[in-house]
Amino acid sequence: MTTIGFIGTGNMGGALAKAASKSGLADKILLANRTRAKAEILAEEISGTVCDNNTVAREADYIFLGVKPQFLADVYEGIKKDLKKRKTRYIIVSMIAGRNLAALRELLGDVPIIRTTPNMPTIVGSGSTMYMANEFVTQEEKEYFYNLMKPSGSLEETDEYTMAAADGVKGCGPAFAAMFVEALADGAVACGLPRKKAYVYAAEMLKGTADMLLETRMHPGALKDSVCSPAGSTIQGVRVLEERNFRAAVMDAVIATFEKKF
């Protein structure tokens, strides 16, 4: 019997709790949240059990921490005694941004820890999550975690440096992509398209392009070239983007997110 517990059921915590429920691997799911009503809504959806942080600390085999970084120390202080009293093994799964394995170990001690970086599309089961585990996590436990989280989207085991470098695309990228969709829609509205349709068309285009790149493994530049007909309208749009340093701006945005971490 495996019990999965969540301390924090916000966007990411709620999304991973739903994934755990869909996996069929969790015998019991415990949900603790500062706003109890939010946990109650989620519990009804996934047949979970609402409880407090200390119950999660005492009973869960995998303890998912989904609190904001500034609250982590206080949350741990509140459950520390329960964790130290345990006679059974447990694994901490961190969703906390900006806390690498070394920082987590300094606070939590020499315990099994899996660090994850789920992104916003995880909410709709299309996430892209990178994860890594410390030396106290067994291969069997990592495999269980992977299968537990598979309904959330794609998962990849990695290292700290790669995780930080990729987060500018995986973690921050949805914000950049949403800005691009909004800008495309604004342009279409300026040309006379109703706004609701503009948002849908822009989002569908982005999703379809992403699906095509992933399925065919076509180089992005080759896809761009295939759309740009000689003397056509697309190449004129590309010319304007190049004049406005579109690619350089996007590169700088990703680099800025990486530099923030180091």
pLDDT digits (tens, 9 = 90+) for 162-210: 998 999 999 999 999 999 999 999 999 999 999 999 999 999 999 999 9
Q: Is 212 in contact with 223 (CB distance < 8 Å)?
A: yes
Among residues 89, 73, 75, 3, the alpha carbon closest in space to that of 33 is found at: 75
pTM recorded for the entire structure: 0.90
Element (H, E) at 50: strand 49-50
Among residues 114, 154, 105, 117, the alpha carbon closest in space to that of 132 is found at: 114
pLDDT, tens digit, 9 for 90 and up, residues 25-68: 999 999 999 999 999 999 999 999 999 999 999 999 999 999 99
Q: Which domains does the chain have, with CATH numbers?
A: 3-159 (3.40.50.720), 173-261 (1.10.3730.10)
Residues in the chain: 262
